[in-house]
Homo-oligomer: A and B are copies of this chain.
Amino acid sequence: METLHLSKAFTLIEPGPVILVTTHDGHKPNVMTITWTMVMDFAATFAITTGPWNHSYTALRDMKECVISIPTVDLIDTVIGVGTCSGKDTDKFGKFDLTPVKAKHVQAPLIKECLANIECRVVDIIEPHNIIVLSGVAAYFDSTRTEQRTLHAVGDGTFIVDGDILDRKTMMQSKLPAGL
């Protein structure tokens, strides 16, 4: 996994892939599947919607950090497995053969098997709406990975896989931040 400049981290989330979010509660790591995410600016600010009904929420709220990991289509059954059991009674890294990799700035681990990872700090929790605002502090991308297609949850139990890529860079020029 090589370093990805933080100014490009939003391009991992903007297409709307299913993500994994790792946390560490001071004793052990955990991971959850999240599809309710949003980019909030070009400088690596993200929102996720979650709340006390998720076991990971306590670690997010108390430790104020996490890692966003981007899985690809070959991990679909892992993504669903992670999302349909609880860290309350399950060691998900062990159960799903995910390899935790030490992060630089946060205690939550990166996931080796994922296409990309973003170390994040929790900068705000908007309680009435269950929105957690995250600020990316470091990002990584595994360009050696052959499978780079991500997954988009529909919400009805089906998932859309990335298809064709269309280039409209020329038309979009006026709207792109510098360096992209």
> Contact residues of A with B, CB < 8 Å?
8, 10-11, 14-17, 35-42, 47-49, 73, 76-77, 80-81, 83-84, 124, 126, 129-131, 133, 149, 151-176, 180
Contact = CB atoms under 8 A, between A and B. Distances in A.
Contacts of A124: 129
A180 B126 CA distance: 29
Contact of A39 (B35, B83, B156, B163): B35
Secondary structure of the A side of the interface? mixed
Nearest to A124: B129
Count of identical protomers in the assembly? 2
A16 B176 CA distance: 19
Given A35-B14, A162-B163, A47 B157 contact: no
Contact of A176 (B42, B73, B156): B156
Contacts of A41: 49
Given A17-B16, A36-B14, A168-B76, A163 B180 contact: no
B157 A168 contact: yes
Contact of A49 (B15, B40, B84, B126): B40
A14 B15 CA distance: 11
Given A161-B164, A166-B158, A166-B161, A80 B47 contact: no
A10 B163 contact: no
B80 A171 contact: yes
Contacts of A80: 168, 171-172
A35 to B, nearest CB: 6
B163 A163 contact: yes
B174 A84 contact: yes
A160 B163 contact: yes
